[in-house]
Each structure stands twice: as structure tokens, then as C-alpha cells.
Structure 1
């Protein structure tokens, strides 16, 4: 079993981290997201539109995007 690695508050506060990179300026940072909400409100269309905008490097919701790769997994449950 791997030993738990701990860090002091001072070590965390003095560590220089790379800045957050947004794929949609001020709205969506790089990473994994779960989009949840009521049924039939347009979540799938929103996610698909965001992915296409990022893949093409086009504006989304009036915001600049950074062109890159996007993976859209439509994992709906019944």
C-alpha cells in the first residue's frame, strides 16, 4: 500500500503553480466536467456546441475559445 504524502501549509502556500488555462475564456477551464440538470433543458446541445467551438477555435456564447481537442461522451441513463 502506498504511504500517504502530506505537505505543510507553508509548503503549499509557497509553491508556484502554473496558471489555470481556460478553453472558453472565463467560463470553462481545462479538465473533466459533469453537466447535470433537469431533463430536456438542452444540456446535450450545450455540451456539443461547446465541444465543436473548441475543436474549431470559434467563439462560444460570445466568448473566445482556445482551439484544441475535445472529447464528448454522451453517457445518458434511461
Structure 2
């Protein structure tokens, strides 16, 4: 199960733009250090759902970019 999940994530990450990869790298760096701020699970689920939906429907607009600044504020 863990290996399949890692492969799914790898496939999705490989299709990211350089800008999105940079943002993801910054977010992962922040996850590696203890933080007093936690992102509610429903927000994480929503982002993952949007990314998955866009992967399955590539012609749709991925509004993740419009919301990335708010996500960065939450994770800062």
C-alpha cells in the first residue's frame, strides 16, 4: 500500500510545473521541522482531491495556483 501511494505521488509530482515543484519543496521543508501550526486534515484532503481531479481531467482549470498564497500563509 505504501509503495503504491509513493508511486502515485511520484507520478503526480513528475507532472508539476517548476513553480509548483518549488512551492512543494518549500512546504515539505517546513513539514520536516516541528511546527506549532497544523493544517486541518480537511484542507489537506481538499488540495489532494483537486490535484487528483485535475490529473484525471487535465483540461480543467487547477485553481490550486490561485489559492497557493493562502496555503503558504497557513504553512508559514
For normalisation by structure 1, the TM-score amounts to 0.28
Structure ID, larger Rg:
1
Higher RCO (Cα < 8 Å, 6 or more apart): 2
Structure in which a larger fraction of residues adopt helix: 2
For normalisation by structure 2, the TM-score amounts to 0.28
